[in-house]
Amino acid sequence: MQISPENVATLIVIISVIFLIAPLFLVSYVNLYNQRKKKHQEEKEQLKRDFDLEMLRVQMEVKEETLKTLGAELHDNIGQILSLTTITLTSINLEDAASSTRKLTSATELTRRAIREIRDLSQLLNGENLLKRGLVAAIELELDWLSRLERYTLTFNKKEFNPASSHNNKDVIVFRLFQELISNIIRHAHATQITILLESHTNTLQLTVKDNGVGFTKNKPQKTGMGLYTIEKRAGMIQGTVQFDTAPGQGTSVKIEVPYP
The 10s digit of each residue's pLDDT in 159-179 is: 888 776 667 778 888 988 998
Domain locations in the chain as residue ranges? 1-125, 151-261
CATH numeric code, 151-261: 3.30.565.10
Question: What DSSP element (H or E) covers 84?
Answer: helix 79-90
Alpha carbons 198 and 207: distance in angstroms, whole number: 5
The 10s digit of each residue's pLDDT in 116-146 is: 777 766 666 665 566 677 889 889 988 887 8
Nearest one of 145, 117, 140, 131 to 198, comparing CA atoms: 140
The pTM assigned to this predicted structure is: 0.63
In this prediction, residues 5-29 reach a mean pLDDT of: 75
Per the DSSP assignment, residues forming a β-bridge with 134 are none
The 10s digit of each residue's pLDDT in 33-70 is: 888 888 877 777 777 777 777 767 776 776 676 666 66
Nearest one of 182, 165, 82, 67 to 121, comparing CA atoms: 67
Alpha carbons 62 and 25: distance in angstroms, whole number: 55
Alpha carbons 136 and 127: distance in angstroms, whole number: 13
The overall average pLDDT reported for the chain is: 79
| Of 112 and 241, more confident | 241
